Amino acid sequence: MLREVTSSIELHKRLQEKLVSLTMKVDTGTELLLVVQLKKEISEEVASTRQLLYGGRSVEQIAETIHDMYITATDLDNAAILKHAEACISQILEAVAARTKRNFTGPNMFGLQDLGSFLENSFPQGPEIVANMPHFKELSRQAYQKSTTGMSLEGTVKEVKFLNNLNEAQAVLLLDVVQRFYNKYRTVVQKFRF
């Protein structure tokens, strides 16, 4: 653990030294050498992480890697680096999902749900990472659909009220809107039946 912390600190120091030593260049439409190098380092970390994922790396270690990539990219405040970091994080998440689909049964088995929960609960920026990554959005949507399958409109609105901490007045208004929507939907469907 100490070795990982030390290497992470050293990586951040090296990145900071590179930023300080960088001289401003005229914008030629190409990426600065530092941006290219940072993207390369992030990509190498992704390749390493994907390999270690099958070697028993824990959810904590994967979450820390994702967190470090995201924080480094946001701290640098460079759109190209952030976009690249998000794409690389997406590759790691795809590897986690693929491992789950293949029913991998090695040590430290975990899925996207476990990883998202760990990120949200263990890092201050974890909820932001989970909110920004489409893999987690899809997972949340699927969980919501599963929890509301077979529910009446009232039951679905009750679940939305609970999940979003709505007050009673807001829930009543939401139910009214949902009922009007479904009534209009039924009218359109019946109108165009064969």
pLDDT tens digits, one per residue of 82-98: 888 888 888 888 888 88
Q: Quote the percentage of the chain above a pLDDT of 90.
A: 5
Q: Quote the percentage of the chain above a pLDDT of 70.
A: 76
Rounded CA-CA distance 84/38 in Å is 10
Structure tokens belonging to residue 160: 């939305």
> What is the separation of C-alpha 109 from the centre of its chain, rounded to a whole number of angstroms?
19
- Is-contact 59 114, C-beta < 8 A? yes
Residue of 140, 141, 132 whose CA lies nearest to 85: 132
Structure tokens belonging to residue 46: 């992704």
Other CB atoms within 10 A of residue 148 CB: 16
pTM attached to this predicted model: 0.55
Among all chains, which residue has been given the structure tokens 């600190």? Answer: 9
- Is-contact 115 96, C-beta < 8 A? yes
> 114 to each of 101, 137, 158, how far by Cα in Å?
15, 14, 26
- Tens-digit pLDDT profile for residues 131-184: 888 888 777 777 667 766 777 888 888 888 887 888 999 999 999 998 998 888
HSE-CB at 11 with a 13 A cutoff on CA atoms is: 17
Query: Which residue type, as a one-letter code, is found at position 145?
Result: Q
Query: Which residue type, as a one-letter code, is found at position 173?
Result: L
